[in-house]
Amino acid sequence: MADEPQTPSEDMEEFPINNALGGFAAAAEAEPAAAGGEETAERILNQEEIDSLLGFDVNSDQVQDKSGVRAIINSALVSYERLPMLEIVFDRLVRLMTTSLRNFTSDNVEVSLDNITSIRFGDYLNSIPLPAILGVFHAEQLDNYGLFTVDSNLIYSIVDVLLGGRRGASAMRIEGRPYTTIERTLVQRMIEVIMTDMCQAFEPLAPVDFKLDRLETNPRFAAIARSANAAILVKLRIDMEDRGGRTELLLPYATLEPIRKLLLQQFMGEKFGRDSIWEGHLATELWSTTVAIDAILDEQTMPLSRIMNLDVGQTVVLNATPNSKIELRCGGVPLLRGRMGRSGNSVAVRVEEAIQRTDASRAL
């Protein structure tokens, strides 16, 4: 008698599953033993490894180059290196600030440019170390705003220097109180000096007037752009012997958009691509250059067969009369009109009018 097919029971169904789970459990138990006898089989990430994976680092600056997920989020930001002339403008600003702040404080001031980075406006507002004074300024020709941040160390250092503090002693910092009217006024004067230097730094590129609009101590009231908008952050360091601090300049890309084409050009020389000495020399040589001018009496259109049949002695009749105007050309470009006459033993042309330049003549 043939064996009847057996129906699968619950024990038969669970056998391979339990067997497989037992194999995984055995492998998990053997793994720590092979690794050196560790008791725990799971690998738990600590906080530093999680921050490194996500691209966050509490100890480092928040506007430096990111890695991990934060790098992917910020990948849409436009790099300031696409505007090569901008770095030259800020280098010029550093030199101007060094001189102007020395005259302003009557002290030995050194200004250095730390870095120029791109950042989202919202991220920058969240990274401002408080307490600080934020100056909102308006770029009149660009019809937009910028942000100027002064940290507390620089604020107390400027107040200490301007009010005659002794050298060698660090500025006294009083935390937990708002800035006084005297402190705000002195910082405002310093920002106005820097705004004047910014106007001079942008002058060779484009005339821009920067005017201080207001001072704020709360970053929420200094929102000059949307949080997701990209901006350029310039970090400056101001040192006055044993005192000093940091100041930051933020320019949204919307502010620089009207002069974007000028910022895209490559830097050529110390004077933004212009050399006044060479320009003067070239202009002098051009004024003394000798050029050939053709006096055209008349122009006619003839078939090529007639021109090929011309012989010596034949006369070509022109449509011009003794009173007709003659056209003067240089290099095929019409310049002047006049009447033909005689000056001594030479044939002369008296200029009577200038010919308006057309697009075709400019192309020639």
Rounded mean pLDDT, 98-107: 89
The string of DSSP letters for 115-164 reads EEEEEEHHHHHHHPPSSEEEEEEEETTTTEEEEEEEEHHHHHHHHHHHTT
pTM for the whole structure: 0.54
pLDDT of residue 8: 47
Closest CA to 136 of 18, 216, 59: 216
Among 66-80, 299-313, 335-349, which stretch is predicted with the lowest mean pLDDT?
A: 66-80
Cα of 239 vs its chain's centroid, Å: 26
Secondary structure of residue 347 in the 3-state scheme: strand
Average pLDDT, the chain: 78
CB 85 within 8 A of CB 262: yes
**Confidence band, pLDDT 50/70/90 cuts, at residue 195:** very high
Kindly report, residue by residue over 271-289, the tens digit of the pLDDT: 455 567 888 888 889 888 8
* Fold exhibited by the domain 79-264: Chemotaxis protein chec (3.40.1550)
* CATH code 3.30.413.10 for 291-363: no
Residues 6+ apart with CB under 8 A from 53: 45, 68, 69
| CA gap 140, 138 in Å, rounded | 6
pLDDT at 12 over 80: no
- Do β-strands 325-330 and 210-216 pair in parallel, antiparallel, or remain unpaired? unpaired
Secondary structure of residue 278 in the 3-state scheme: helix
- Do β-strands 294-296 and 243-252 pair in parallel, antiparallel, or remain unpaired? unpaired
Domain ranges of the chain: 79-264, 291-363
pLDDT of residue 342: 86
Ramachandran angles phi, psi of 234, nearest 5°: -115, 120
